[in-house]
Amino acid sequence: MLTIINASTNSIDDLDVAKEEILTQIKDKKLLKNSVGIVGCHSDYVEEGFIGALHEALGFDIIGCVAFGVACNDGGGPEYLTLTVLTSDDLTFSTALSDTITKDNIAGPIESTYATGKKALNGDPSLIFMFAPIMSDVVGDQMLKLLDHTCGGVPIFGTLSNETSPGYVKSYVFKNGEYALGKMALLLINGNINPRFYVTAIAERNIRQYNAVVTGSEGYLLTSINDMPLLKFLDSLGIVTSDSISTITTIPFLVDFGDGTDPVAYGMYGISETGAYCGGSIPVGASITFAEVDMNSVMETATTTLRAALDDVEKNGANGIIAIPCISRPLVLSPNVDLEIRKSLELIGNKIPFTLIYSGGEICPVYNKQRKIVNRFHNLTYTLMVF
């Protein structure tokens, strides 16, 4: 049996009050034999030592990351901290924080962190939470692929740290009182747990319908489509021209890998005459469809995903929902950046414990035609797990 307990605070200007608010919300809740905490929060809570103090007060491990905004059933926003406590007599939990990841040393820290977490676990993991750093020279998809290979395909759910400072200089990942910019935190869960995953990216009407096949790719650098240089192809569609390169920050698109899974949403970044860097590795032969993300698409996909999840809960039961929408979504909604949070909380109400942590890159499995799990990295999506 798993019980999920949520607590939150927005008392960012008085951390003594914030601590008391969190502890008051959970003091009368029954903690079972094994417990662990997941936190999403503003960077001030981390820099002021609040996470370490909370860990000491609670007596169990806490992992998580800084996020642009977070929420749980009682409210949310950019200055909130949410604590999601997983507690169980049957499930066991272990946590681990990596050494610093660099572009020249990605595999080593990931492999050793997984090994540390697994060694402390009572058996093999059934589910992994991954909180990874957002980095300019290491793509989140790279880190996920390495962890997926290392763990042998165990379902992995999580996020890249994120906030809006130039260079992401406050996008910390943490375990208890230790935090850093270039480290990864893992939570491994052993036991009988039944997670179900939902990913929705872009409203159907916002997807352009035509045939585009990748004919040139160097992993994360997309160079040609339909045997045309990328920029020329984009120009032919009226998406971007040589003169407008400097004004384009992101181009959303969907990738069909041809493996029976639903298309995955990525963004193109750093567009130049030679190509564009993408949020995930794009193989030659994959099909691409370009799309547009607007306010209506953001709100529609959030609603669609949450309604599907609530239908699942009603039919199959569950203990909680954790959502990790992309940070780009509230930015699209600007200046009403809290619209998606408000809609999410309106739909969820008090039906089930709910946590939302905005994401710098969404980590969530998808299903192939045989309903087998395939771990994937996403951009632009409203992604969640029912468990």
User: Rounded to an integer, what distance in angstroms lies between the CA atom of residue 356 and that of residue 268?
Assistant: 25
Structure confidence at residue 168 (pLDDT):
87
**Tokens describing residue 40:** 């999403």
- Of 92, 91, 23, 96, nearest in space to 59 by CA: 23
- Reading the block at residue 204, the tokens are 């159907």
Mark 20-56 as b/e (b = at least 16 C-beta within 10 Å). ebbeebbeeeeeeebbbbbbbbbbbbbeeebbbbbbe
Instruction: Please tell me the distance from the alpha carbon of residue 278 to that of residue 263, in angstroms, as a whole number.
Output: 15
Token pair belonging to 347 = 């739909």
Q: What is the model's pLDDT at position 245?
A: 60
Query: Quick one: which of 172, 183, 154, 194 has its CA closest to 363?
Result: 154
Task: Report the distance separating Cα 128 and Cα 121, nearest Å.
Answer: 12
Residue 303 to residue 53: CA distance in whole angstroms? 36
Structure tokens at 42: 């503003």
Using 70 as the pLDDT threshold, list the residues of the chain that sit under it.
Answer: 241-248
**What pLDDT sits at residue 66?**
98
Q: Hunting for tokens 């990931």 — which residue is that?
A: 110
pLDDT at 173: 98
How buried is 236 (Cβ within 10 angstroms: 0-12 exposed, 13-18 middle, 19+ buried)? exposed
Show the DSSP H helices in the chain as ranges: 15-26, 43-47, 50-58, 107-119, 140-151, 230-236, 295-316, 328-332, 339-348
Q: Cα–Cα distance between 232 and 301 in angstroms, integer?
A: 31
Residues comprising the chain, all counted: 387
Check: CB of residue 237 under 8 Å from CB of residue 272.
Answer: no
Query: Residue 91's pLDDT is what?
Result: 98
Q: How is the chain split into domains, by residue range?
A: 2-200+298-386, 208-290
SS (H, E, C) 62-76: EEEEECCCEEECCEE
Sign of CA dihedral 378, 380, 386, 387: positive
pTM higher than 0.75: yes
Q: What is the rounded distance in angstroms from the CA atom of residue 42 to the CA atom of residue 76?
A: 11
Could you give the CA distance from residue 87 to residue 78 in angstroms, rounded to a whole number? 27
